[in-house]
A and B are shown apart, each in its own frame.
Chain A
Amino acid sequence: MLCGHQEAGADATVVGSNVRRLRAPDRKGQYAKLGGKVSVSISNSAIATDRTPAIPARKVKILSRRRRKIQDALIAYSFIAPNFIGFAVFTLGPILFAFVLAFMHWDGSNAITFAGLDNFWRLFEDKAFISAFWNTVIYTVVSVPATLACALGLAILLNQKIFGRDFFRTAMFFPYVASLVAVAVVWNMIFNPEMGPVNMILYTLGVDPKDMPGWAADRHWAMVTVILFGIWKNMGYYMVIYLAGLQGINSELYEAADLDGANSWQKFLYVTVPQLGPTTFFVTVMLTIQSFKVFDQIYMITQGGPGTSTLVLVYHIYNEAFISWDLGYSSMVALVLFFLVLAVTIVQFRRQRED
């Protein structure tokens, strides 16, 4: 089988070079000539593999070296092809198409028309987009530091030698892998404004029913509800990354700090935090990108409401594409998301280069 590859590869290049050489007006003649040359080249290569002394040794060497290279390349491509073809068709293609579509008008069934910058200017007039943009920013600005702090705290707590440590770590991590729909529906029930246990507990603690938060149903509390859910669900994941970071810190640093008479807080501030710098940076980038593309939990908990109080960018993309079928405009909103993520990624690359 490999041999077959090799022959085909070698001959293909010969044919290729002939095609390039023969760009004359008379096509019929070309193909006739081409056919002749191909057969010659095949016989040549057959001779070459047999190492018949009729061909000078040097030529054989060059031929076989080149053929070996081609053969190696073909083997390598055969490894890549199964994944790359799928990846190119279903990921790269659509990505390129997204950039084109952003400058088009299309409802998915009628003819596609060029829109120029129409979709871009529409962003500034679209009130839903503007609130989606700011809600995404607010979600990110609040949930990234909060999740980060919780994850770091948990990691430090569970990095100590305590009884049942593995159980506690697993318990913290479990919300991250739990099915979102299942946990979101529980969350909605627990935070139900009228009957949910959270408000019941607040009531027994003496909170006036009039001041009771309406959680997902309340314009001012909906974002809080969604953010709390995100922190609860995701912090276990980042805790594990921090645990790995903590285990990478050289224990001699703590011993040296002990000798200098540092207390726990000082050790945290002057040894742990600086040593965790790369981890913190990585976690921040990951969390920021995650926050920019938040959707599922909002769809399940608040449906973007009340009003537009929890509408976020991906939700807007979804609405514009699959509810309004305004495909061009939804791609323009998607590009905004893309550039937000790109900005964060560039910062990450810069930072990595500095390190």
Chain B
Amino acid sequence: MRIAGRRITAKTVAIYALVIAITVVMLMPFAWMLSASLKLSRDVFVFPIEWIPSEPRWQNYVDIWTKIPLALFIYNTSKLTIIVTVLQLLTSSFAAYAFAKLNFPYKNALFLGYIATIAMPWQVYMVPQFLLMREFGLNNTHLALICLQAFTAFGVFLMRQFYMSIPTELCEAARIDGMNEYQIWASIMLPLSKPALSTLTIFTFVTTWNDFLGPMIYLTKTELKTIQIGLRMFIAQYSAEYGLIMAASVVALIPVLIVFLSLQRFFVEGVASTGLKG
């Protein structure tokens, strides 16, 4: 068979068919979500599925903002995510510079502290951590979640691995030029480490935005809740309002979709590089 002057083999057709079929299955839940978000609750489960509602009910997207404090939840989540991401980037790259390029007593012992906990699931120590935060009077505060997520072994490890690949001669040359270590970090290492920084940004953003168990344990007051547990509360309260639940879910997905699509290229590179370095 020939299409547009090209020979199309059966194999090519099979590959395309397979890829498209899998993509449809992967995206089906999202399509269904979008379609249901524009329906009345009683029409959501009508079968056969009406993918494009004949009378789209945009009112759902108006109602969700008044039924639950969705805007407040989004504000809370954005605030937490931005603070955690900025702190994570700053403190990790700062510490990683010392581990990669400076010599000091107990360097290996301190780094071992990080390495030893990198594979440790948070769930192992979440209970004592909660008790500690409660002791500090931090439960039901956003500060607790910031403290919990901003200083990770993963961030330091990722940045250190990247800095190790930057030639030390560069730092030495800068030192001879009279730069101090802080200047070297700010004007040489940071600009060079954009790939690692964007990887860490995306990872931190996605984990903080989507975190569920942390906010569930720490935040019980409605006005403090994040979008994840706020959505969960909404689902529990209006369990039969399928159209509204779907509209709220679509809204909860949009920020992640935007960040993901705009940084997608870095994301794929980032996953690939951390994957290989382990």
* A and B form one complex: yes
Determine if A172 and B26 form an interchain contact, defined as CB atoms under 8 angstroms apart.
Answer: yes
11 further interface pairs, Cβ-Cβ under 8 Å (given A162-B15, A181-B249, A241-B276): A89-B132, A174-B26, A179-B252, A189-B246, A190-B28, A192-B45, A245-B276, A282-B278, A283-B275, A289-B119, A334-B123
Residue in chain A with minimal CB distance to B144: A90
Determine if B23 and A94 form an interchain contact, defined as CB atoms under 8 angstroms apart.
Answer: no
Residue in chain A with minimal CB distance to B129: A94
Interface check B210, CB cutoff 8 A: yes
**Residue from A177, A187, A292 with most neighbouring chain B CB atoms (10 Å):** A177
Determine if B19 and A181 form an interchain contact, defined as CB atoms under 8 angstroms apart.
Answer: no
Determine if B32 and A178 form an interchain contact, defined as CB atoms under 8 angstroms apart.
Answer: no
Give the shortest distance, in Å, between B275 (CB) and chain A (any CB). Answer: 4
Determine if A293 and B271 form an interchain contact, defined as CB atoms under 8 angstroms apart.
Answer: no
Determine if A154 and B22 form an interchain contact, defined as CB atoms under 8 angstroms apart.
Answer: yes
Chain B: interface secondary structure? helix
Interface residues of B in 87-125 (CB under 8 A from A): 90-92, 94-95, 97-99, 102-105, 107, 110, 113-114, 117, 119-125
Residue in chain B with minimal CB distance to A352: B278
* Stretch in B60-68, B145-153, B164-172, B193-201 with 4+ CB within 8 Å of A: B145-153
Interface check A173, CB cutoff 8 A: yes
Interface residues of A in 77-109 (CB under 8 A from B): 77, 79-80, 82-84, 86-95, 97-98, 101, 108
* Stretch in A46-54, A123-131, A314-322 with 4+ CB within 8 Å of B: A314-322
Contact indicator per residue, chain B 129-153, by CB within 8 Å of chain A (1) or not (0): 1111000000000000001101111
Can you sample 7 A-B contacts with CB below 8 Å?
Answer: A83-B156, A95-B120, A101-B127, A101-B128, A157-B22, A170-B264, A179-B228
Interface check B253, CB cutoff 8 A: yes
Interface check B272, CB cutoff 8 A: yes
Q: Which residues of A contact B256 (CB under 8 A)?
A: 177-179
Give the shortest distance, in Å, between B200 (CB) and chain A (any CB). Answer: 13
**A contact residues, total (Cβ < 8 Å):** 89
Interface check B213, CB cutoff 8 A: yes
Interface residues of A in 25-75 (CB under 8 A from B): 72-73, 75
Could you tell me the distance between the alpha carbons of A2 and B97 in the complex, rounded to whole angstroms?
18
Chain A: interface secondary structure? helix
Could you tell me the distance between the alpha carbons of A101 and B131 in the complex, rounded to whole angstroms?
11
Determine if A195 and B272 form an interchain contact, defined as CB atoms under 8 angstroms apart.
Answer: no
Give the shortest distance, in Å, between B267 (CB) and chain A (any CB). Answer: 8
Determine if B212 and A296 form an interchain contact, defined as CB atoms under 8 angstroms apart.
Answer: yes
Interface check B82, CB cutoff 8 A: no
Interface check A158, CB cutoff 8 A: yes
Q: Which residues of B contact A86 (CB under 8 A)?
A: 91, 147, 150-151
Determine if B260 and A79 form an interchain contact, defined as CB atoms under 8 angstroms apart.
Answer: no
Could you tell me the distance between the alpha carbons of A299 and B212 in the complex, rounded to whole angstroms?
10
Determine if A168 and B19 form an interchain contact, defined as CB atoms under 8 angstroms apart.
Answer: yes
Q: Which residues of A contact B49 (CB under 8 A)?
A: 197
Q: Which residues of A contact B231 (CB under 8 A)?
A: 179, 181-182, 185
Q: Which residues of B contact A92 (CB under 8 A)?
A: 113, 117
Determine if A341 and B120 form an interchain contact, defined as CB atoms under 8 angstroms apart.
Answer: yes
For the complex of A and B, 4 pairs with smallest distance between CB atoms: A244-B272, A86-B151, A241-B275, A182-B249
Could you tell me the distance between the alpha carbons of A138 and B239 in the complex, rounded to whole angstroms?
31
Give the shortest distance, in Å, between B18 (CB) and chain A (any CB). Answer: 7
Determine if A337 and B124 form an interchain contact, defined as CB atoms under 8 angstroms apart.
Answer: yes
Q: Which residues of B contact A284 (CB under 8 A)?
A: none
Give the shortest distance, in Å, between A164 (CB) and chain B (any CB). Answer: 9
Residue in chain A with minimal CB distance to B119: A345
Interface check A18, CB cutoff 8 A: no
Which residues on B are within 8 Å of A, measured CB to CB? 15-16, 18-19, 22-23, 26-30, 32-33, 36, 44-45, 47-49, 90-92, 94-95, 97-99, 102-105, 107, 110, 113-114, 117, 119-132, 147-148, 150-153, 155-156, 180-181, 185, 206, 209-210, 212-213, 217, 227-229, 231-232, 235, 242, 245-246, 249-250, 252-253, 256-257, 260-261, 264, 267-268, 271-273, 275-276, 278
* Contact A87-B147, Cβ < 8 Å, known A76-B102, A197-B49: no
Q: Which residues of B contact A185 (CB under 8 A)?
A: 231, 235, 245-246, 249
Q: Which residues of A contact B123 (CB under 8 A)?
A: 293, 295, 314, 317, 334, 337
**Residue from A2, A189, A342 with most neighbouring chain B CB atoms (10 Å):** A189
Q: Which residues of B contact A154 (CB under 8 A)?
A: 22
Could you tell me the distance between the alpha carbons of A316 and B242 in the complex, rounded to whole angstroms?
30
Determine if A80 and B98 form an interchain contact, defined as CB atoms under 8 angstroms apart.
Answer: yes
Give the shortest distance, in Å, between A103 (CB) and chain B (any CB). Answer: 13
Residue in chain B with minimal CB distance to A82: B91
Determine if B94 and A160 form an interchain contact, defined as CB atoms under 8 angstroms apart.
Answer: no
Q: Which residues of B contact A171 (CB under 8 A)?
A: 23, 26-27
Residue in chain A with minimal CB distance to B91: A83
| A318 contact from B45, B95, B117, B213, Cβ within 8 A | B213
Determine if B156 and A186 form an interchain contact, defined as CB atoms under 8 angstroms apart.
Answer: no
Give the shortest distance, in Å, between A52 (CB) and chain B (any CB). Answer: 26
Interface check A175, CB cutoff 8 A: yes
Q: Which residues of B contact A342 (CB under 8 A)?
A: 119
Residue in chain B with minimal CB distance to A174: B260
| B29 contact from A82, A183, A293, Cβ within 8 A | A183
Determine if A82 and B128 form an interchain contact, defined as CB atoms under 8 angstroms apart.
Answer: no
Interface check A271, CB cutoff 8 A: no
Determine if B132 and A97 form an interchain contact, defined as CB atoms under 8 angstroms apart.
Answer: yes
